[in-house]
Chains A and B, each alone.
Chain A
C-alpha cells in the first residue's frame, strides 16, 4: 500500500489563535479517511492547507508525494476539492458548470465530452442537464459539486462537509458514490459532523480544539482503553435519571442517547455501584447494562479528557 497523504506536525495560527495544533497523520491510497469534530475545531483549516489554499504556519504536508508548501500547483492538478457550502453559480446551468471545470482542467474534444457524459450519468444529473444550479434541490447541488470535483479523475479528493444540509436519502446515495470511488482506488479524505456517516470510513481521526484527540478504525476507537466502560439505562424518565446520576463521583459523563441514557464509567467494576445508586433514587429505571459505545460517546470522552 502506498501513502497518499503524509502530514507531520502541521500547524496553522491566526494571530495568537492556534486553529490547527501540530497534527500528524497518514492516509493510504484508496482509503476513506474521516475527519471528525465539532464546528470550529480545525477541520476545514486543515483541508484548506492540504489543498494549497492556505499556507501552513508550521509543519509539513505531502500530498501524493508532493510537498504542498513547495509546489501547490502540482498538487492542485492531481486532487479534487469540494469546499463547504455552495460552490456553484446560481445563474449557470448544470452542463455549463461541468463544461467550465472541464475547460479549467484542459479537457476538450471527444474525450472530454465522453468523460462529462459519464459523470453526468453516474451522478444522476443527465436529466437535469439544462437546469440552473440556483433551482436545483440540495442533494443535486452536492452531486453537481461532486461531479465538478471528480471530472479530471483526481487521485485524491478532499470533501469538506459534503452532506451538510442534505436529506437522508440523498446522503446515502452520495455515500454510495464515495464508496464506489474508493473501491476504484481514489483516496478520500472527508470531514463530517454526522457521526453515523463516519461508520463508512476505513479510518477516522477526531479533532478537538485543533488537536487530534483519537484516531483509528471506527471499531478500534470504540475499544480505546481511556473510554472505560459505557452502560445504557432505559427509563421512562431519562431526564430525571440523568439529573440524579450526573453528579455521582464515579460517573465520568452521561448523556441522552435516543430513548435511553448512555453513561461513561471508568471500569466495569463501577456498573454495580451505579446500579445500587440508581435503585436508591427510587426512580423507575431498568438496571444499567454494558454496551459498545457509539462514536458520539467516544468523541465525548476523548474530547473531555485532558
Chain B
C-alpha cells in the first residue's frame, strides 16, 4: 500500500466532488429534505375530520362527543341530520370518521342498559383507520366505566370492579411520538442510498469515460485506488450523518439517548456494505444507466424488508428470513437502539457483529471482482 498514491486519488476525488456545485447541493440537501418530509409526514393520525349525527341531543351524548374531541384524535367538523348526511361526508372525503348516537342513548343509560354507538371509519388507509378504531373503542370503554361509577354513587351501591386493571407504560419513546421512531430510520436509509449510489457512480463514470483504463496502466494498485475513492465518500457520509443528527436534535427535538461515538463507529461498519454494494454493481454494469437500474433491484427491496416502514416481526416468515440478509435491517436496529433507547454494545453486539460480517463479505467480494474486471 502506497499512501501517497491513494492520497493522490482521494485529492482528485475531493476536487471533482466540490467542483460540481449541483452534486454538492444534492448530496448535502437531499438527506435533510428527507428527514423533514419523513419527520412531518409520519406524525400520528390526529384530528381526523369527523361527522356526528346526534339523535339523542342530551347532556349524556354531548359528554360522549366531548370525550371524543378531548382524545385529540377526532375533530368534530360536521353535524349531520341523517344517515345519508354521514355517508355523504365520508364518501366525498370531507370526513374520515362518522359517529352516530341513537335517540335512546340517554334513556338506555338511565335504565342501566348498554346503548350502542356507531363509529364508522374510512378504512381506505388501513393503518390510520386501525388507530382511530382502537382509540374509539378505548373512549367507549372509559366513558362507560365513568357512567357506571356515577350511577353507582347516585344509587348508593358499591362501585363495580373492573375485571383487569391493565396499566400500560410506553418505554423509551414515552410520548409515543412517531418522528422519534422515524428520524433515526431516515438516517440509516439516507446512508444506504447515498453511499451505495455514490460509490457505484464514482467507478462506473470512470469506466464509461475510459479514464479507468488509464489508471489501470499506471502503477496504482486496486487497493490504493479503492481507498482513494472511498475515503472522500466516507467524509461525505459523515457530513450527512452529522447534519441529520443536528436536524433531529435541533429541529425535531429527538435527542440522542446513547453514545454518539458508538453511532459514528457503527456508521463506519455500515460503510463496508453500502460502499461494497456500489462497487459490486459497478463491476456488473457496463453503463451508468444500467447501473442505476441494477441498483434499484437492491435498494427498493432492502428498504421494504429492513423494517424501516413495516416491522420485521410482522412479516411472513420467508420474508423475515430474507430481511436478515439485508444489512440495513441490522443497522436500523443499531441506530434506533442508540438514538431512542440509549443502549450500547452490551445489547447491540450481535447486530454489530453480523453487520460487520455481512459488510466484510460484500466488500471483499466486490473488490476481488473489481480486480478481475480490469485485468
Identify A53's interface contact among B7, B16, B217, B219, CB under 8 A. Answer: B217
B213 to A96, Cβ gap below 8 A? Answer: no
Indicate if A175 sits at the interface (CB-CB under 8 A). Answer: no
Indicate if B374 sits at the interface (CB-CB under 8 A). Answer: yes
A92 to B210, Cβ gap below 8 A? Answer: no
Contacting residues, chain B, for A294 (C-beta < 8 A): none
B217 to A104, Cβ gap below 8 A? Answer: no
Interface contacts (Cβ under 8 Å), in number, total: 70
B220 to A92, Cβ gap below 8 A? Answer: no
Bound Cα distance from A55 to B371, whole angstroms: 13
Most buried by B among A103, A104, A106: A104
B4 to A103, Cβ gap below 8 A? Answer: yes
Indicate if B30 sits at the interface (CB-CB under 8 A). Answer: no
B375 to A103, Cβ gap below 8 A? Answer: no
Name which residue of chain A comes closest to B19, CB basis.
A91
A104 to B20, Cβ gap below 8 A? Answer: no
Identify A104's interface contact among B211, B218, B374, CB under 8 A. Answer: B218
Contacting residues, chain A, for B216 (C-beta < 8 A): 53
A100 to B12, Cβ gap below 8 A? Answer: yes
Indicate if A81 sits at the interface (CB-CB under 8 A). Answer: yes
Contacting residues, chain A, for B259 (C-beta < 8 A): none
- Determine how close the nearest CB of chain A comes to the CB of B332; give it in whole angstroms: 36
Bound Cα distance from A48 to B220, whole angstroms: 17
Interface membership of chain B positions 1-20, coded 1 if the CB is closer than 8 angstroms to chain A and 0 otherwise: 01011011001100110011
Contacting residues, chain B, for A77 (C-beta < 8 A): 219
B8 to A53, Cβ gap below 8 A? Answer: no
Interface residues in A69-95 (C-beta closer than 8 Å to B): 73, 76-77, 79, 81, 83-89, 91-92
A92 to B16, Cβ gap below 8 A? Answer: yes
A104 to B16, Cβ gap below 8 A? Answer: no
- Determine how close the nearest CB of chain B comes to the CB of A156; give it in whole angstroms: 12
A88 to B211, Cβ gap below 8 A? Answer: yes
- Determine how close the nearest CB of chain B comes to the CB of A72; give it in whole angstroms: 9
Indicate if B174 sits at the interface (CB-CB under 8 A). Answer: no
How large, as a class, is the contact surface on chain B?
20 to 34
A83 to B11, Cβ gap below 8 A? Answer: no
Bound Cα distance from A288 to B11, whole angstroms: 65
Indicate if A5 sits at the interface (CB-CB under 8 A). Answer: no
Name which residue of chain A comes closest to B218, CB basis.
A104
Indicate if A101 sits at the interface (CB-CB under 8 A). Answer: yes
Name which residue of chain A comes closest to B221, CB basis.
A73
Number of A residues with CB within 8 Å of any CB on chain B: 29
Name which residue of chain A comes closest to B209, CB basis.
A86
Bound Cα distance from A104 to B216, whole angstroms: 11
* Secondary structure class of chain B's binding surface, majority of residues: helix
Indicate if B134 sits at the interface (CB-CB under 8 A). Answer: no
Indicate if B214 sits at the interface (CB-CB under 8 A). Answer: yes
- Determine how close the nearest CB of chain B comes to the CB of A96; give it in whole angstroms: 6
Indicate if A210 sits at the interface (CB-CB under 8 A). Answer: no
Name which residue of chain A comes closest to B210, CB basis.
A85
Identify A106's interface contact among B5, B11, B374, CB under 8 A. Answer: B5
A106 to B217, Cβ gap below 8 A? Answer: no
Identify A54's interface contact among B8, B15, B220, B375, CB under 8 A. Answer: B375
A96 to B12, Cβ gap below 8 A? Answer: yes
Indicate if A105 sits at the interface (CB-CB under 8 A). Answer: yes
A104 to B375, Cβ gap below 8 A? Answer: no
Bound Cα distance from A84 to B213, whole angstroms: 10
Contacting residues, chain A, for B220 (C-beta < 8 A): 104
Identify B11's interface contact among A84, A103, A108, CB under 8 A. Answer: A103
Most buried by A among B11, B215, B218, B220: B218
- Determine how close the nearest CB of chain A comes to the CB of B241; give it in whole angstroms: 26
Contacting residues, chain A, for B11 (C-beta < 8 A): 100, 103
Interface membership of chain B positions 111-155, coded 1 if the CB is closer than 8 angstroms to chain A and 0 otherwise: 000000000000000000000000000000000000000000000
Contacting residues, chain A, for B2 (C-beta < 8 A): 106
Contacting residues, chain B, for A96 (C-beta < 8 A): 12, 15
Contacting residues, chain A, for B213 (C-beta < 8 A): 48, 53, 83, 87
Q: Decide: A89 near B8, CB < 8 A? Known: A96-B15, A106-B2.
A: no
A106 to B4, Cβ gap below 8 A? Answer: yes
Interface residues in A105-144 (C-beta closer than 8 Å to B): 105-106, 108
Bound Cα distance from A77 to B5, whole angstroms: 13
A103 to B8, Cβ gap below 8 A? Answer: yes
Bound Cα distance from A51 to B215, whole angstroms: 12
Bound Cα distance from A16 to B91, whole angstroms: 67
Identify B20's interface contact among A55, A85, A91, A100, CB under 8 A. Answer: A91
Contacting residues, chain A, for B19 (C-beta < 8 A): 91-92
Pairs A-B, 5 closest by C-beta atoms: A103-B8, A81-B217, A87-B214, A104-B218, A85-B210
On A, residues with C-beta under 8 Å from B are 48, 51-55, 73, 76-77, 79, 81, 83-89, 91-92, 96, 100-101, 103-106, 108, 148
With contacts A54-B375, A76-B219, A91-B16 known, what are 4 further pairs, Cβ within 8 A? A53-B216, A76-B217, A104-B215, A148-B214
On B, residues with C-beta under 8 Å from A are 2, 4-5, 7-8, 11-12, 15-16, 19-20, 209-211, 213-221, 374-375
Pick 22 A–B contacts, CB within 8 A, sort by A.
A48-B213, A52-B217, A53-B213, A76-B217, A83-B213, A86-B209, A86-B210, A87-B211, A87-B213, A89-B12, A89-B16, A89-B211, A91-B16, A91-B19, A96-B12, A96-B15, A103-B4, A103-B8, A104-B8, A104-B219, A105-B219, A108-B4
